[in-house]
Structure 1
Amino acid sequence: MKVNGLQAEMQAMRLDAQNSSSPATAQQVSADFGNLLSDALKTVNHLQGQSSELATRFDQGDRSVSLSDVMIARNKSSVAFEATVQVRNKMVQAYKELMNMPV
């Protein structure tokens, strides 16, 4: 998962928010968050596909792919997937807390 790219994008969004003369609307924030989440899911999907492809090539006897390459790719995709699951869990928890708030 491209953590540095994600962090740089979040910092750029923060600077835009600070330098903006008008406050961001809920629709803008929702669209930005949706795009950020979509990009993160695409990255996780790409890592899983890459891991699967390397494993298949190794199984088929491709000598340009080593076992360590396969294991590293598999661990990267596993960490990315676990991070995605944790983000989902936090979002569900936040949603439940919002729903339980008295109005």
Structure 2
Amino acid sequence: MELKLLQKDVARICGVTEDCITNWERNRSTPQIQFFPCIINFLGYMPFEVDLTSPSGKLKAHRNINGLSQKQFGKILGVDGATICSWELEENKPIMEKIDSML
């Protein structure tokens, strides 16, 4: 990426501190999910490994793109956050047609 931005510039764009950017770049910490939309928008792609061919991967990708925790996403869908977790871990299968109609 050749944007020639400083860490402080990226921090301002993402609404975090310069130290946050440094820690993310050096893998000292992981960004919190609420920062995922900014990161994805800034990079132009999703830097997180997600299997978009599976229903669980599609759910996780949707959460990542929108910066939603499992609990927040559960509220939108009318289920508990633990249910979202079980869907993402493929312990249970969601009814995708129902979910698609809610999103």
TM bin, normalised by shorter chain, reads under 0.3
Larger radius of gyration: 1
Query: TM-score with structure 1 length normalisation?
Result: 0.25
Q: Indicate the structure whose relative CO is greater, using CA pairs within 8 Å and at least 6 residues apart.
A: 1
Query: TM-score with structure 2 length normalisation?
Result: 0.25
Name the one with the larger helix percent: 1
